[in-house]
């Protein structure tokens, strides 16, 4: 196990594969977004969530990509924990390479939250 577990379920409940993952899967199904068959990571991994968010923004998925859809996904699956994860990554002992990723991710999540707040 690594120093950090980059999963929404873990950050929000302290356990893997919990209610946040189930809620995400329900949301993805409603949006018509399916996991690729070759990916074995749970969908609530921070990298996967960022990819999904990007796909919603760019219209790569068969769901609404308007601002309200983007905000709904961000609020439901990233806003509550991603900033904390990136702060932890920034400060992790073994994250010499990833510390700048943590800084960038933390700043990006703050900008996104501020942008959605003014809508």
Q: Is 86 in contact with 105 (CB distance < 8 Å)?
A: yes
Q: What range defines the domain where residue 95 resides?
A: 8-117
Domain count for the chain: 1
Q: Which two tokens stand for residue 90?
A: 């920034």
Q: Is residue 1 part of a domain?
A: no
Q: Is residue 104 part of a domain?
A: yes
Q: Is residue 3 part of a domain?
A: no
Q: Is residue 2 part of a domain?
A: no
Q: Which two tokens stand for residue 28?
A: 């993805």
Residues in the chain, overall count: 119
Residues 62, 37: Cα–Cα separation, whole Å:
18
In 2-96 the beta strands, taken as DSSP E runs, fall at none
For the cut 90, the answer to whether the pLDDT of residue 58 exceeds it is: yes
- For the residues of 70-95, what is the DSSP string, one character each? HHHHHHHHTTTTHHHHHHHHHH-TT-
SS3 assignment, position 45: strand
Residues 38, 20: Cα–Cα separation, whole Å:
22
Q: Is 33 in contact with 63 (CB distance < 8 Å)?
A: yes
pLDDT digits (tens, 9 = 90+) for 79-105: 999 999 999 999 998 888 899 999 999
Predicted TM-score (pTM) of the model is 0.93
pLDDT digits (tens, 9 = 90+) for 5-37: 999 999 999 999 999 999 999 999 999 999 889
Q: Is residue 36 part of a domain?
A: yes
């Amino acid at each position: 196990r690594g120093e950090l577990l980059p999963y929404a379920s873990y950050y929000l409940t302290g356990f893997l594969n919990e209610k946040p993952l189930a809620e995400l899967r329900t949301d993805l199904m409603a949006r018509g977004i399916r996991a690729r068959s070759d990916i074995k990571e749970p969908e609530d991994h921070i990298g996967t969530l960022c990819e999904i968010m990007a796909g919603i923004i760019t219209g790569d998925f068969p769901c609404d990509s308007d601002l309200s859809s983007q905000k709904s996904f961000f609020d439901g699956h990233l806003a509550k924990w991603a900033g904390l994860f990136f702060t932890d990554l920034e400060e992790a002992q073994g994250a010499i390479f990833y510390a700048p990723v943590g800084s960038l991710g933390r700043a990006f999540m703050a900008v996104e939250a501020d942008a959605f707040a003014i809508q």
